[in-house]
Structures are given as structure tokens and as C-alpha cells.
């Protein structure tokens, strides 16, 4: 059951997305969606005068070897032509699926229909109370994406031993401020993230996950260091004697494909209201981890599917890291975990 304080927050976010009276709004959910998010999104849209309808699909069975978590690639639409048509007919889609449409194969067709999509992260609704309106976020994210687009190389270092180079020629660059105002666009809420999906054969080096970094597939903090050696875009060794390294190796091996070991995307967080420590305050079922991806100054390293490089797999890790320095063509944009200049 929704509460007024959540309705107020959701209505402000939908208003920021340009929702106006008479606009056609589809609320997309699945049978396993968090009911409070679906109800709050629907009522908030109605409060603003949206012409709202629900699209509800069954959550499919997981046919894979391990549980899939926090992927951003919902499988619930399952290519259903009727569902895609229903969503394409909307002007605004409020996405309340468990994993979200960000990397779903049906997203492109929905956006080509002219809809804009607000993907609401599968978090406990009270989290959204903390993501107050930041009038600077959209402009700062745009500046971050512009820097990525102008750069030929990203280099990431850390005191723990990370030294990673990603060439950005041919990369797909994107960002999300949590606001979708233009037809054919998608934003995730909470927003505040700048990303690059490198082209094939562009990533080399070492990534060291240090204590306090986050494994969002497991929704847990790294306790013991894990060292990833990367050659030609792929992890060739997972080094470490502790449980974190054992779990990392076991999960990736379960998929039985090389693509699970590949680099998906690299980027940095921009959201000053997001916190790295919030996982400690909630049960795993109450969070999806978008806040951890977006907290200001993190370096987000991700493994698995990268459509830009022609790689597809269900294996996936999102790994927000603290204390890293990120440089674009030598210009430091994140210094030891702190955003620099007009990105801050």
C-alpha cells in the first residue's frame, strides 16, 4: 500500500519528466514487481492528469544455472508483440519491472514508437524520499557525457592497484539524470551516471576490488580484495584467496561462455544524494542497487553483455568502486573518488 509521502516524491519526479494533463501513460509491471512501486507510480501519474493504463506481464521462469540479479535487462516482455505495441502507443512508460528495460531487447522498438521511459529502480519506496530534486544533476551529467564523447581514452587507477585503460574510439557513451523528457529516450531513477560501452578490443589492465567496493549482483560489500587481470576486453584471471574471489569465479563459470568474462561498460557516478553505504540498511530483497551505481565519485566497472562490442550473455557484474581516479585523455574527472571541476 502506498503512502502520501511516496506519492508526493513520485509526482515531483514525473512532473520533472514533463508529464502533463491528458498525456497517455503506460505503467509496466510484472507479476513479481514491487506492488508499492506500481501503485505509487500509477496514482502519482493520475494525480498529474495522466491518462493511465496498466500493462502487466507474467514474470518468466529462470532457465539459467544461477539467479539473475540487478541486470537492467528484464526478460518479462519475452518479445510479446501485443505488449510492445501497447507500450509503443504511450507517450510515457513508467517501468516497474523487476530488472528494468534499460538493456531489454524490446526497448529499441518501444522507443522508436515515440514513447519515453522512466525506469524506476526496484528499491523500497522510502529510498526515493532521499533523491530530492537536484537542479544541477541534468547539466552535470550532460557535461560528463560530453567529456566521454570527446575523449579517446579512459584510464582508471587506485591505491589498491587498479590500473585499467579503455580506448573510447567507437564506444557508445550515455548518461542518465533520472529524467526522461524527450520522445524516444529512457532514464533510470535514481539517476546520475555517465557510461561508456567500449568497442571490441579496447580494454586492458588490472581492476582490484578493495574492501568496501560493491558487488551489486550479490548485493554485498567486498570484504577481501579481488584482483581481475584483463586482456583484450576479457578477464583472464580472478585472483584472491578469500570468499569474495571464490564467489566471483563460481558465478561467472556457471554461464559457460566467454562473454560473461568480458567488459560491459565503464563510467562514473554523479548523484550527490546517493550513498555507497545504504546497502547495510536494507534486506537484499528491498534493493536493486541503482543508488550504489550512481553515488558521486564512484568508478563503475561492469562485466558481461556489451551490445556495442557484439557480445551477449546473461552473466553480469556491476561493481561500483570507491577511491579511484578516473582520467579522460589525461584530464582527471574523478580524483580519489571525488568528482572534479564543474562535474562536482
pLDDT band, residue 120 (cuts 50/70/90): very high
Q: Are 74 and 40 in contact (CB under 8 A)?
A: no
pLDDT one-digit tens code per residue, 243-263: 999 999 999 999 999 999 999
- Quick one: cell of 252? 561467472
Name the nearest CA neighbour of 13 among 183, 184, 128, 137.
Answer: 128
Per-residue model confidence as pLDDT tens digits over 293-308 = 999 999 999 999 998 9
CB 306 within 8 A of CB 318: no
For residue 83, the model assigns a pLDDT of: 97
199: pLDDT strictly greater than 80? yes
Report pLDDT digits (tens) over 128-174.
998 877 899 999 999 999 999 999 999 999 999 999 999 999 999 99
Do the beta carbons of residue 33 and residue 3 sit within 8 Å? no
Question: Using an 8 Å Cβ cutoff, are 187 and 177 in contact?
Answer: yes
CB 244 within 8 A of CB 222: yes
Alpha helices in the chain (DSSP H): 4-16, 35-47, 81-88, 107-112, 137-150, 243-254, 290-294
What's the whole-number average pLDDT of the chain? 95
> Which domains can be identified in the chain, with CATH numbers?
4-120 (3.40.50.2300), 137-176+191-343 (no CATH)
Per-residue pLDDT, averaged over 178-203, amounts to 96
Specify the pairing of strand 226-231 against strand 203-209: antiparallel
Amino acid at each position: 500500500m502506498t503512502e502520501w509521502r511516496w506519492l508526493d516524491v513520485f509526482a515531483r519526479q514525473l512532473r520533472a519528466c514533463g508529464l502533463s494533463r491528458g498525456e497517455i501513460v503506460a505503467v509496466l509491471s510484472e507479476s513479481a514487481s514491487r506492488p508499492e512501486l506500481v501503485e505509487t507510480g500509477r496514482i502519482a501519474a493520475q494525480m498529474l492528469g495522466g491518462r493511465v493504463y496498466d500493462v502487466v506481464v507474467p514474470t518468466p521462469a529462470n532457465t539459467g544455472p544461477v539467479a539473475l540479479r540487478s541486470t537492467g535487462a528484464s526478460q518479462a516482455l519475452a518479445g510479446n508483440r501485443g505488449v510492445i505495441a501497447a507500450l509503443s502507443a504511450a507517450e510515457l512508460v513508467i517501468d516497474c519491472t523487476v530488472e528494468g528495460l534499460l538493456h531489454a531487447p524490446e526497448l529499441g522498438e518501444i522507443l522508436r514508437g515515440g514513447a519515453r521511459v522512466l525506469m524506476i529502480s526496484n528499491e523500497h519506496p522510502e529510498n526515493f524520499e532521499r533523491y530530492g530534486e537536484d537542479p544541477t544533476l541534468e547539466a552535470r551529467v550532460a557535461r560528463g557525457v560530453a567529456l566521454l564523447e570527446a575523449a579517446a581514452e579512459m584510464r582508471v587507477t587506485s591505491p589498491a592497484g587498479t590500473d585499467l585503460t579503455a580506448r573510447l574510439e567507437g564506444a557508445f557513451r550515455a548518461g542518465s539524470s533520472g529524467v526522461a523528457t524527450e520522445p524516444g529516450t529512457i532514464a533510470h531513477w535514481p539517476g546520475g551516471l555517465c557510461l561508456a560501452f567500449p568497442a571490441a578490443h579496447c580494454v586492458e589492465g588490472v581492476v582490484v576490488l578493495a574492501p568496501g567496493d560493491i558487488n551489486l549482483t550479490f548485493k554485498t560489500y567486498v570484504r577481501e580484495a579481488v584482483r581481475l587481470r584483463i586482456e583484450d576486453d576479457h578477464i583472464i584471471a580472478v585472483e584472491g584467496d578469500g570468499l569474495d574471489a571464490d564467489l566471483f569465479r563460481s558465478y561467472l563459470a556457471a554461464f559457460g561462455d566467454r562473454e560473461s568474462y568480458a567488459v560491459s561498460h565503464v563510467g562514473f557516478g554523479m548523484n550527490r544524494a546517493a550513498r555507497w553505504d545504504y546497502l547495510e540498511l536494507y534486506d537484499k530483497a528491498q534493493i536493486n542497487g541503482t543508488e550504489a551505481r550512481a553515488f558521486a565519485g564512484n568508478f563503475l566497472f561492469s562485466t558481461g553483455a556489451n551490445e556495442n562490442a557484439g557480445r551477449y550473455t546473461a552473466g553480469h557484474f556491476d561493481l561500483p568502486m570507491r577511491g579511484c581516479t578516473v582520467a579522460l585523455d589525461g584530464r582527471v574527472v574523478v580524483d580519489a573518488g571525488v568528482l572534479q571541476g564543474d562535474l562536482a
